[in-house]
Amino acid sequence: MDEQPLVSIILPVYNAERYIAFSIESVINQTYRNLEILIVDDASNDRSIELVQGFKDSRIKIVKNEQNSGISASLNKGLSLAIGKYIARMDADDICLPNRIETQVKFLLANPDVAVIDSVMQLMDTDNKLMSRVNSTKISEKAIRRTLPFDNCLGHSSVMLPREIYTRYRYRKVVHEDYDLWLRILNDGNRICKINEPLLHYRVHDASYMSQIPKRRIAMADTKMFYYWSLKSKDKFKKMNLFVLLGALIDYARGWQKWLILNLKK
């Protein structure tokens, strides 16, 4: 690649000592080298930052919150400090494939009008065993545009955005802060694309994941409603946003239905 623009990787950390070393290693070993790695520690009380400090890499910069502030505030702090042309997300328990950053930078350089570039992710258990792929069915721009009003078909720790886009929108304090961000970016007519190959291994922790589905579904509905009621009046009647409203009502119904089924089985 002739041009090597700086990429800022924002990696929020909170009590991630079990996995943080794997995540850091996957970032510093990227084929793309022109990186700054912003570690935003959200007042961890374990050995997370001690482990990060064990990596002697000048590209790593550690920022500490004085008190636990939550994911949205931590990400916004990282955004305010990032100086890269592009900004990539990364979570403290996931693993980037070696070519992740290089692949996404090449895409954005070739498509300067794209606001978000995502990729397929592959699930990984607590022992690093790979499982199924996720976000692998809605690949085309058209499919993403049609799906987002109803469901979040993008990853969060697998995205890269131009810094100008990321800092223009920033995160709001809502349960699914990433989904709220995608909806706002889409509402303004920006392009959102996805690379049809896994570039990130996404770690799944909880064996009782299925039992969380009702709460997750209701939280998605709450996020849709938060987004919808924050819109300007002229935008509330856009087709996309009417679908968001419809999607919220469907999510509430499905969430409570699933909750009833699970509790009747007890």
What pLDDT was estimated at residue 206? 64
User: What are the C-alpha distances in Å from 81 to residues 33, 61, 64, 109, 186?
Assistant: 19, 10, 12, 22, 25
Instruction: Please enumerate in sequence order all residues whose Cβ is within 8 A of that of 157, keeping only pairs 6 or more positions apart, or say none.
Output: 89, 90, 91, 94, 200, 202
Q: What is the C-alpha separation between 101 and 108, in angstroms, rounded?
A: 11
Q: Give the tokens for residue 154.
A: 């993008």
Where helices occur in the chain by DSSP H, the ranges are 20-28, 48-53, 71-81, 100-110, 141-147, 163-169, 177-187, 213-229, 239-264
pTM of the model: 0.92
Low-confidence ranges of the chain (pLDDT < 70): 1-3, 206-214, 259, 262-263, 265-266
Question: CA-CA distance, 213 to 211, in Å (whole number)?
Answer: 6
pLDDT recorded at residue 262:
65
Residue 204: per-residue pLDDT? 85
In this structure, are residues 107 and 114 in contact, taking their beta carbons and an 8 Å threshold? yes
3 state DSSP class of 35: strand
pLDDT of residue 260: 73
Burial zone of 21 (CB within 10 Å; 0-12 exposed, 13-18 middle, 19+ buried):
middle
Q: Can you give the C-alpha Rg of the chain in angstroms?
A: 19
pLDDT recorded at residue 1: 47
Amino acid at 238: K
Q: What are phi and psi of 238, to 5 degrees?
A: -65, 145
Which SS3 state, helix, strand or coil, does residue 39 take? strand
As a whole number of Å, the end-to-end CA separation of the chain is 58
**For the residues of 174-225, what is the DSSP string, one character each?**
STTHHHHHHHHHHHTT-EEEEEEEEEEEEE---TTGGGGHHHHHHHHHHHHH
Q: Is 121 helix (H, G, I), strand (E, B) or coil?
A: strand
Burial label, 140 (beta-carbon count in 10 A; 0-12, 13-18, 19+): exposed
pLDDT of residue 132: 80
